[in-house]
Amino acid sequence: MTAPALPPQTGDAAFAHACLTPAAPPPQGLRAAGGDPVARRFAIHRTTVRVTLIDALAVAFPVVRALVGDAYFVAAAGAFVAHNPPRSPVLAHYGQEFPEHLAQLPGTAPLPYLPDVARLERLMIEAYHAADARAACRADLAAETLAAAATLPLARHPATRWLRSPWPVVTLWRMNSGHLPLRPLDQWTAEAALVTRPELDVELSLLPPHGERLLEELATPRTLGALAERLAAPADLATVLPPLLDRGALTWPTTSQPRPGGAS
């Protein structure tokens, strides 16, 4: 026997609204087992949904939480949850708009770098869940002749992300995640972050000079020869390519991965 359909006014949208709105009454047509009051049972469910989404944000933005403190983070996350229901059943996708939400909160005005730190943490989640690919490395090029190496196509690794910020976001993230000791910053200089995942672990480093231009060019696979022609200063390629290879930011397209010691 199938369960009776809920009335039209209590469809998915109405149910989601009631779950995320503390003052909303339970959707019509609900019944509680054992004769319990529907309102009491639904209030428990509503609390569970809210706490689950706030916890998901806390996992996704641990450094933001460290910067603002637990109490403020729970309040900010709760306000976000109330107006931003999930659009996917995968909790890892939840919170894409959270950095913009933080930027609009008046309480974060003394921390103008906070939205960029949140954007960085969001990029790290995206990198973690990105498609797998073999990262290109210097050894691949060393195994080729100069002429052959110039014809090898390179592409951006699927997990590679970057963020250019007017704030020292990489230093702030490292200090508030335990990778560096906490200390006062003498100079608040701009930093560009590079997020990579060459194997299983997400890595954060500073984006090398001219790295952004090269990564933008490699949205489409290009040979090293074509890259040298497209860059404003071809010498930049020799400067920026090695650190990007070392950090796993690039990959060989699947149809043209070179074999060490042999042709592609």
Q: Is the pLDDT assigned to residue 1 strictly greater than 70?
A: no
pTM, rounded to two decimals: 0.85
What does each C-alpha distance from 203 to 120, 172, 247 come to in angstroms?
A: 12, 15, 8
List, for residues 182-232, the tens digit of each pLDDT value: 999 988 999 999 999 999 999 999 999 889 999 999 999 999 888 888 876
Domain ranges of the chain: 1-111, 114-264
Q: CA 83, CA 104: separation in Å to the nearest integer? A: 13
Protein fold of 114-264: Outer Surface Protein A; domain 3 (3.90.930)
List, for residues 129-168, the tens digit of each pLDDT value: 999 999 999 888 888 877 887 888 899 999 999 999 999 9
Residues in Cβ contact with 164 at an 8 Å cutoff, skipping those fewer than 6 apart: 190, 192, 193, 207, 212
Q: What percent of the chain has pLDDT over 70?
A: 89
